[in-house]
Amino acid sequence: MSNQIHPTAIIDPAAQLGQGNHIGAFAIIEADVVLGDNNQIAAHSVLKRGTRMGNANQIYEHAVIGGVPQDLKFTDHSVLTHVQLGNNNVLREYVSINRASKSGASTVLGDSNFMMANAHIGHDCKLGNNNTIVVSAGLAGHVTVEDKVFISGGVMIHQFCHIGSYAMLGGNAKITQDCLPYMITDGNPASVRGLNLVGLKRAGFSSQDIRTLKEAFRILFLREKDLDNNLRVLEQISHPQVTHLLNFIHRAKRSFHRAE
């Protein structure tokens, strides 16, 4: 299937396009862009050099993918870095994703992510699959987001933070530390408010899984103030989500947001 390209679109001859792509009016695709199949690239959107995109993505009007890192240390714009998008992502109007800041590195967006209007992903971020990022949320450089995270509107995430799977970040939250998986983190300053019960139920977690995570929350935040002792108690629970929670805590480099 051939590509459908509007006559006003500007596509560098050095760009590589697959099949079945729809390129809208005044869209710009620079050199060193690699595009898969069946992507929708809407009017006035820009795919800049170093962008690598899979299949069946929807890029809406005025989105800019692969822009130069907003990093004061990045002074040589000729250094080749990348943005890598997987498949079936939806990037709404004015979304921006910056390419990585070090030669050969990539900012990465996995599969089936939904980014609403004006959301921003900074350089060197790594996002997994099935995440939702709502209007005007912003991720600074080097942020890691696991899978099935819900980042509400206006959330600002500090560089190098790590957001765990099935977490929900409340609207306009100020995130300066890691956010635990399965939990709601909200406020300014942010704190853990409880389990992300709605998200867990929608994701198909069983009643027993949710009861076990409730018990893990109680042990971690309500049992006593000694975190090390609480973690030792959690280690006695044989459950895959609790194991993931423990591993996340042990890997936390910026510490993590706690309950009030």
Q: Write the pLDDT tens digit of every residue in 133-186.
A: 999 999 999 999 999 999 999 999 999 999 999 999 999 999 999 999 999 999
Residues identified as active-site: 123-124, 141
Q: Is the peptide bond before 189 cis (omega within 30 degrees of 0)?
A: yes
| Domain 4-142, CATH class in plain words | mainly beta
Task: Compute the average pLDDT of residues 97-121.
Answer: 98
What is the Cα 220 distance to its own chain's centre? 26
pLDDT at 212 over 80: yes
Q: What is the pLDDT of residue 98?
A: 98
pLDDT band for position 1 (50/70/90)? confident
Helix (H, G, I), strand (E, B) or coil at 67: strand
pLDDT digits (tens, 9 = 90+) for 5-38: 999 999 999 999 999 999 999 999 999 999 999 9
Q: What is the pLDDT of residue 11?
A: 98
pLDDT at 195 over 90: yes
Task: Compute the average pLDDT of residues 30-50.
Answer: 98
pLDDT band for position 224 (50/70/90)? confident
212 Cβ partners below 8 Å, 6+ apart?
237, 239, 241, 242
Task: Compute the average pLDDT of residues 73-91.
Answer: 95
Look over the chain and give the mean of its residue pLDDT values, rounded to a whole number: 97
Q: Could you give the strand order of the β-sheet that contains 174-175, starting from the edge strand earlier in sequence? A: 10-11, 28-29, 46-47, 64-67, 96-98, 120-121, 138-139, 156-157, 174-175
Tell the residue number behind the tokens 């595009």, with chain if given: 35
CATH 2.160.10.10 boundaries in the chain: 4-142
Residue 48 sits at φ, ψ, to 5 deg, of: -90, 165
Q: What is the pTM of this model?
A: 0.96
217: tokens are: 């929350």
Q: What is the pLDDT of residue 260?
A: 82
Helix (H, G, I), strand (E, B) or coil at 56: coil
Q: What is the pLDDT of residue 223?
A: 83
Task: Compute the average pLDDT of residues 53-61.
Answer: 98
